[in-house]
Chains A and B, each alone.
Chain A
Amino acid sequence: AQTVTQSQPEMSVQEAETVTLSCTYDTSESDYYLFWYKQPPSRQMILVIRQEAYKQQNATENRFSVNFQKAAKSFSLKISDSQLGDAAMYFCAFYNYGGSQGNLIFGKGTKLSVKP
């Protein structure tokens, strides 16, 4: 069974600084997808960034980028130039399309605070 681990329950960053959120996962599959979701205090989870396991190139979306290390089963999220609006819970999630159709497997989340 796949598992997703986020070892940092809480993180804090100064506005305009860079922060990295960690995520590791365990799977025997070779073809899968990884996601980072953001859940602001308003509670709606929003997709931040996604990565296909077969792509070596790290995904980037504006200030958000990932460091995907397939051999190490690591998928960290880097937020550059942090803004107050980045404060939220961040969830790492795993998806194996070849297996379950809708079963995103989430980590426990990391609560990110941004200090002005």
Chain B
Amino acid sequence: EPEVTQTPSHQVTQMGQEVILRCVPISNHLYFYWYRQILGQKVEFLVSFYNNEISEKSEIFDDQFSVERPDGSNFTLKIRSTKLEDSAMYFCASSRLGHLYNSPLHFGNGTRLTVT
């Protein structure tokens, strides 16, 4: 069964550095998402992406965050200047149609980001 894949599985970075988290969504999916989960907290929506543009973003997704689909397969999340509070598990997800009941989200394994 096709899967969403994320790399790396664990990223350690220093405060102020830029990081790029990478995701390969399922190939025939059209909607892409990033969620994050701070340790012990809820999984939180960051951003959704469709047709090469952001379709929705949460309050968390401020100017230090950006997303891109640089080619036909990758979907990236960039954090420009990391802060300690950005330490979290970041999940990529994709959906074929965008209606999450009829076309449920498929999640990747996550990237654990540790900012020191």
Contacts and interface: CB of A to CB of B under 8 A. Distances in A.
Interface string B6-18: 0000000000000
Contacts of A45: 43, 91, 105, 107
Contact of A103 (B50, B58, B104): B58
Contacts of B31: 101-102
Given A43-B109, A44-B107, A102 B41 contact: no
Contacts of B42: 4, 106-109
A103 B56 contact: yes
Interface residues of B, number: 28
A106 B43 contact: yes
Contacts of A109: 42-43
Interface of B: 3, 31, 33, 35, 40-45, 48, 50, 55-56, 58, 89, 91, 95, 98-101, 104-105, 107-110
Interface of A: 4, 33, 35, 37, 42-47, 50, 52, 91, 95, 97, 100-109
25 contacts: A37-B107, A43-B109, A43-B110, A44-B3, A44-B109, A45-B105, A47-B105, A50-B104, A91-B43, A95-B100, A97-B99, A100-B45, A101-B48, A101-B56, A101-B98, A102-B48, A102-B95, A103-B45, A103-B58, A104-B45, A104-B100, A106-B42, A108-B40, A108-B42, A109-B42
